[in-house]
Structure 1
Amino acid sequence: MEEVYENVACKKHACPAPATDPRGSSSSKRRVYLAVILCLGVLSVCLLAGLIVLGVHYHISGEMAADLFVIQDQLSERLQASKDNLSSLTEERNQLKANLSQLTEEMNKLKEKTCPAGWRMSTFSCYLLSTKSGSWDQGREDCRGRGADLVVIDNDEEQKFLSAFVKGNCWIGLSDKETEGTWKWVDGTTLTLKNWDTNQPDNGGSSGKWGEEDCVQLTDSNRTIWNDFNCEKPMQWICEKGPI
């Protein structure tokens, strides 16, 4: 009943507004501020994390880009080296083709050439066994008069060919007349093929029976081996020259 009367009284007369607690309003504001600060903190952390991730990403990307540039440079160098090698191989191939063509042409020309009457042909040379005997120098003089020289034996095949038609001791174009112990062919080349007989050359040995031995012969006992002999002793000789 009292409340009813109070309400009626308030309707007739202005009643003062109920008092509010100021502490409640301050607490709400603080909570709002704290929430805002917390959100800003979270955003800051997220932003910082994002920046870190981006930095790492760009750092890794930069390293990868640098590696890619290095790899690209290496590949470019290898490609250029391959091109250079290919160019060099192409030049060598062309040179080999040219040499082969030249050799083929020379062989065809040689096939058309022949040796003079009485001479024997083998590979690219003509050979003549003398019918008379003489010293090494006389044999060489005779060969030169025929447009040839004493034979120069380059390989075993040539040696076998010569031994097939040589009948006895005969001079070949090898001597150490200029310098003792330095054997040279008449064309000036040094000795490479060596078919010396056992214990030869010996320059006459200790007995000196045959005198100083500076010239080389194919022996009668085995015409595939050589022996040094006195250059003045008479025997046949072998001449050699190119076909005509």
Structure 2
Amino acid sequence: MKNPRTHGMDKDEEEMNTNADAHDAINNHDVWTETENSNTKRWQTPQYTGSEGVEIRRSKAAVVCLVLLCVLLLTEVIILCVHIHANNINYMEDQLLITDTNLTDERDQLITNKTNLTEDRNGVQTNETKLAEERDRLLNNNTNLGEERDGLLTNETNLAKDRDGLLINNTNLGKYREVLLTNDTNLAEEKDGLLTNDTKLTKDKDGLLINNTNLGQDREGLLTNDTNLAEEKDGLLTNDTNLTKDRDGLLINNTNLGEDREGLLTNDTNLAEEKDGLLTNYTNLAEERETLLTNITNLTEERDQLLTNNTNLIKERDQLVTKNMQLTKEKDVLLANNRDLIKQRDQLNYEKRELLNMDGWLYYRSHFYYISSQKKNWYDSRRYCTDRRADLIIINNRDEHNFFKKMSCGAHAWIGLTDRHAEGRWKWVDGSNPGFRSWAVTEPNSIGGNEDCAVTHSLGWADFPCHRAFQWICERNSLR
């Protein structure tokens, strides 16, 4: 911007230079005329009186000054238009840079969101893989525990069968021991009876020997009865032989009974030892059974705990799967939104390039605006906007109002506000009620009852007849 005072001084200097140039031109003209009169005789310079020459020179100077002033004014107008155009171009460039920066930030944000979603998806897939592996491991452990449990149950069944067999064998051995004890008692009684008989036989033998001795003495004394005694002797010898044989048989039987008794005692000792061993084995088996029952109880509790943990892990896995599905759906929605944003961005860039190629369109806060240089009525103005996929402007706040007032340089311009359908009920062209109002003083007044359309100017809004011709402002949403 130029300083107004400096500009005024420059203008005065130019006017002084113009007057000096005009004066020099008049002087040069006079010199030329005098020279020509002196050097050439063929040319006839009109002769004027003194007052007429002054008037002619003044009129020529006035014409020259007027022409120069017109040139200066035209130059000032051109400079002013170039300055305004340059300001508009700079403003448009700043707005395009801001829009480009915003779009770049949005693109970077979308790329960051996409990267975060990809990392979250990879993390969820990793967790899902780990949970699947842990689930398989737990299933294998569960299967192994089930097999171990089945093996323990089989072992327990076999041990119970072995225990029942040992109890039966123990019972049978007890009965057999009682039978052996009874037989041993009977044998002892028989042995005592045999010993008693042996004692009696020994006494009888001693008595027979004594008798034999007495008989020998009697034989010597009783020679007369030799035949009878010989016969009796033979009988006695026969009886003695038989008794000797019986004695030897009894001795053999006694020896056999002693051996049988020793065998029975040995068997009884062995049976007692076997009984003690069986009792020890039974005690050990009972202890092992209690240990197995304890282990089975612990394994059952561990199995129940593992089943509970497995159930909890299955629930957690199902929750993670559900969460993964939800995240996948959210990712798909975000990707769809990202694609839509990319399409909108491309559409925005396309429309921006398209509108920037159109003269007079400005970009402001995601909208494009056009201020006309022509004048039309409200209907034709709106038709002009709608033919370009736009509409008459809708002003929503004070900032927009100030921007459009600056944009239109305070000139009267149609806006998209009307009460054509219901008098006094002003609505924007999109059917919404005006939340922000900036009516000028005494407006709207509807003079004549037919002022149904609104314009904006330096003092605010005003209602005018819709057939009046004014400039107009179009507004186009960059995302539409």
TM-score, normalized by the shorter chain, greater than 0.5 = yes
Residue correspondence of structure 1 range 191-210 to structure 2 within 5 A: 191=433, 194-197=435-438
- Is residue 2:277 matched to residue 1:43? no
Match of 1:96 among 338, 355, 373: 338
Q: Percent identity?
A: 13
8 Å Cα contact 1:168/1:219 also seen in 2? yes
Q: Report the equivalent of 1:127.
A: 371
**Aligned AA for 1:185?**
W
Tell me the CA shift for residue 49 of structure 1: 1.9
Q: Distance in 2 between matches of 1:219 and 1:159?
A: 10
Q: Distance in 1 between matches of 2:369 and 2:278?
A: 111
Q: Report the equivalent of 1:175.
A: 418
Which structure dedicates a bigger proportion of its chain to helix? Answer: 2
Tell me the CA shift for residue 163 of structure 1: 0.8
Residue 155 and residue 32 in structure 1: after superposition, are their counterparts in 2 closer, same or farther (change >3 A)?
Answer: same
Match of 1:185 among 420, 428, 432: 428
Q: Report the equivalent of 2:238.
A: none
Match of 2:456 among 218, 226, 242: 218
Residues 130-171 of structure 1 show CA distances to partners (whole Å, capped at 9, x for unaligned) of 547xxxxx4223442674686222655654432112425543
8 Å Cα contact 1:129/1:236 also seen in 2? no
Q: Distance in 2 between matches of 1:158 and 1:197?
A: 11
Partner-residue secondary structure (3-state), 1:240: strand
Residue 230 and residue 112 in structure 1: after superposition, are their counterparts in 2 closer, same or farther (change >3 A)?
Answer: closer
Q: Distance in 1 between matches of 2:469 and 2:351?
A: 35
Q: Report the equivalent of 2:383.
A: 144
- Is residue 2:479 matched to residue 1:238? no
Match of 2:297 among 56, 81, 102: 56
Residue 82 and residue 76 in structure 1: after superposition, are their counterparts in 2 closer, same or farther (change >3 A)?
Answer: same
Tell me the CA shift for residue 106 of structure 1: 4.1
Match of 1:161 among 377, 400, 403: 403
8 Å Cα contact 1:115/1:126 also seen in 2? no
Q: Distance in 2 between matches of 1:183 and 1:31?
A: 123
Give the number of equivalent residue pairs.
Answer: 207
- Is residue 2:68 matched to residue 1:68? no
Residue 219 and residue 184 in structure 1: after superposition, are their counterparts in 2 closer, same or farther (change >3 A)?
Answer: same
Residues 67-124 of structure 1 show CA distances to partners (whole Å, capped at 9, x for unaligned) of 23223323432045325513641552354145325523541453244335xxx31123
Q: Distance in 2 between matches of 1:88 and 1:150?
A: 37
Residue 202 and residue 30 in structure 1: after superposition, are their counterparts in 2 closer, same or farther (change >3 A)?
Answer: farther
**Aligned AA for 2:379?**
R
Residues 1-54 of structure 1 show CA distances to partners (whole Å, capped at 9, x for unaligned) of xxxxxxxxxxxxx8x99xx9xxxx9xx899869856863663354134223312
Q: Report the equivalent of 2:327.
A: 85
8 Å Cα contact 2:375/2:470 also seen in 1? yes
Residue 199 and residue 170 in structure 1: after superposition, are their counterparts in 2 closer, same or farther (change >3 A)?
Answer: closer
Partner-residue secondary structure (3-state), 2:372: strand
Partner-residue secondary structure (3-state), 2:341: helix
Higher Rg: 2
**Aligned AA for 1:85?**
L
Residue 38 and residue 142 in structure 1: after superposition, are their counterparts in 2 closer, same or farther (change >3 A)?
Answer: closer
Tell me the CA shift for residue 232 of structure 1: 6.3
Partner-residue secondary structure (3-state), 2:379: helix
Q: Distance in 2 between matches of 1:201 and 1:61?
A: 90
**Aligned AA for 1:76?**
R
Partner-residue secondary structure (3-state), 1:167: coil
Structure 1: runs of 5+ lacking an equivalent: 1-13, 133-137
Q: Distance in 1 between matches of 2:304 and 2:439?
A: 76
Residue 145 and residue 42 in structure 1: after superposition, are their counterparts in 2 closer, same or farther (change >3 A)?
Answer: closer
**Aligned AA for 1:220?**
S
Residue 180 and residue 64 in structure 1: after superposition, are their counterparts in 2 closer, same or farther (change >3 A)?
Answer: farther
TM-score by length of 1: 0.57
Tell me the CA shift for residue 219 of structure 1: 4.9
Residue 184 and residue 128 in structure 1: after superposition, are their counterparts in 2 closer, same or farther (change >3 A)?
Answer: same
8 Å Cα contact 1:172/1:237 also seen in 2? no
Match of 2:358 among 95, 112, 115: 115
Partner-residue secondary structure (3-state), 1:52: helix
Partner-residue secondary structure (3-state), 2:420: coil
Higher relative contact order (CA 8 A, sep 6+): 1
Residue 86 and residue 122 in structure 1: after superposition, are their counterparts in 2 closer, same or farther (change >3 A)?
Answer: same
